[in-house]
Amino acid sequence: MNFTMQTGDWSSLFSVPTSVVDKYLDIANLTQIKVLLYLLRHGNKNISSDEIIKTLNITEEILNETILFWQQTGILQSENINSKNIKISEQTTQMKKNNIIVTQQSSSDMKLTPKEILEIVSSSEDLSKLFQMVQQLLGRIPNFAEQRSLIWMHDHLGLKNDIILTILSYCHSIGKGNMAYAEKLIKDWWDKDITTMQNVNNEIKRHEERRTYTYKIVKYFSMEDKNPIPERQALINSWEERKIPLDLVFYAYEKTIGSINTLSFGYINKILLNWYNAGCKTREEVDKYNEDFKKNNIQQFKIKKRPKKEIPKSPMSDAYKSLTYNIDYSNNKEN
């Protein structure tokens, strides 16, 4: 008796490194897994990037990021560093302390390919350590745009690893883990010469105080949008900068609702500026200020009674009376 095993799809197999499942399955995204499986399926064949892009329906940038991801894990082999790319890394470094004008206003201005990024990172031990620490912070390998941003912060702005990590950790703690947000914040602080750890910590403390100030106002105002629009946030920031106590802000809100029965930041701002210019810091001082204002106002505009104006006495009035008397007298006499 003859037997035939129906192997079907099992007749054609290819291997997947166990480390892909053990180490990277939880941090690699779906596209990265697809690209790796496609490459492993075709073994040692020469496959063009155009073929992968067309088959998997992805962009060239996503493909480059994916290749870089697997190169950094060691699953795919990376090429050796050459002097040309080391030179590129040196040219990206521009330190503010040397008063060099920054021509790259953001990392997007850096025209780097994933291959060049890999070579730059590999040539710098300090940058390599930064990438490793950021990977631990994010819980995954930074993507292409994030890696380019880190190089821009480290090489172009000349910031130290501890400063970059401190700011990234702060952004992550407030739910702003997006690298684009962190880059914008870092550039803003860098422009203000906030480039030392002490200055960075002070700025973070100031931001936290403002966040707390804003949060309490939003909560007291019963605002549905927890993140005020820029115009409202600008007013809140101005109150915080003037060190207007929160209780006065709440009082101004109560006055506003009592007067116009709606939330109006402009109306509240006018009230607060009036109190601020008067030097009021408590509700009691506001009440006293308002009472004094009313009294002064009444005294200033009170309508005073004017005395009756006497009519000037005519010089002929006595003669007239005498004439009248004589006429009456003569008539009585005849009667």
Domain annotation covers residue 331: no
Are 62 and 93 within one domain?
A: no
Domain annotation covers residue 221: yes
Cα–Cα distance measured from residue 147 to residue 10, given in angstroms and rounded to the nearest whole number: 40
What pLDDT score does 248 carry? 96
Residue 76 binned pLDDT confidence (cut-offs 50, 70, 90): confident
DSSP conformational letter for 314: P
Domain annotation covers residue 322: no
Are 191 and 108 within one domain?
A: yes
The pair of three-digit structure tokens given for residue 54, joined into one six-digit string: 């067309």
Residue 260 binned pLDDT confidence (cut-offs 50, 70, 90): very high
Mean pLDDT over the full length of the chain: 80
CA distances from 78 to 117, 118, 122, 305 (A): 12, 8, 10, 99
The pair of three-digit structure tokens given for residue 22, joined into one six-digit string: 């053990």
Residue finishing a domain among 54, 78, 102: 78
Are 248 and 231 within one domain?
A: yes
Residue 117 binned pLDDT confidence (cut-offs 50, 70, 90): confident
Instruction: Between 211 and 9, name the one with better pLDDT.
Output: 211
Cα–Cα distance measured from residue 302 to residue 175, given in angstroms and rounded to the nearest whole number: 59
CA 187 remoteness from chain centre: 13
Residue 14 binned pLDDT confidence (cut-offs 50, 70, 90): confident
- Residue 217 belongs to a domain with what CATH number? 1.10.10
What pLDDT score does 95 carry? 35
Cα–Cα distance measured from residue 109 to residue 130, given in angstroms and rounded to the nearest whole number: 21
Cα–Cα distance measured from residue 145 to residue 65, given in angstroms and rounded to the nearest whole number: 8
Are 96 and 122 within one domain?
A: yes
Domain annotation covers residue 205: no
Flag the least confident range among 142-146, 208-212, 322-326.
322-326
Average pLDDT over residues 152-162: 93
Are 155 and 181 within one domain?
A: yes
Residue 254 binned pLDDT confidence (cut-offs 50, 70, 90): very high
pLDDT at 96 > cutoff 50: no
Q: How many CB atoms are closer than 10 A to CB 159?
A: 22
Domain annotation covers residue 85: yes
Are 102 and 185 within one domain?
A: yes
Domain annotation covers residue 203: no
The total of structural domains in the chain comes to 3
Are 73 and 89 within one domain?
A: no
Are 96 and 182 within one domain?
A: yes
Average pLDDT over residues 112-116: 81
Are 108 and 74 within one domain?
A: no
Are 68 and 88 within one domain?
A: no
Are 109 and 185 within one domain?
A: yes
pLDDT at 235 > cutoff 90: yes
Q: What percent of the chain stands above pLDDT 70?
A: 76
140: buried, middle or exposed (CB in 10 Å: 19+, 13-18, 0-12)? middle
What pLDDT score does 69 carry? 79
Residue finishing a domain among 195, 228, 253: 195
User: Within the chain, what is the greatest distance between any pair of CA atoms?
Assistant: 179
Residue ranges making up the domain that contains 58: 14-78
Average pLDDT over residues 137-159: 91
Are 167 and 130 within one domain?
A: yes
The pair of three-digit structure tokens given for residue 141, joined into one six-digit string: 């390998």
Residue finishing a domain among 62, 78, 94: 78
Q: What is the pLDDT of residues 277-329, one digit of tens each?
A: 999 999 999 999 988 888 876 666 554 445 555 656 555 555 555 545 454 54
Instruction: Between 143 and 104, name the one with better pLDDT.
Output: 143
Flag the least confident range among 26-30, 98-102, 123-127, 235-239.
98-102
pLDDT at 164 > cutoff 70: yes
What pLDDT score does 306 carry? 53
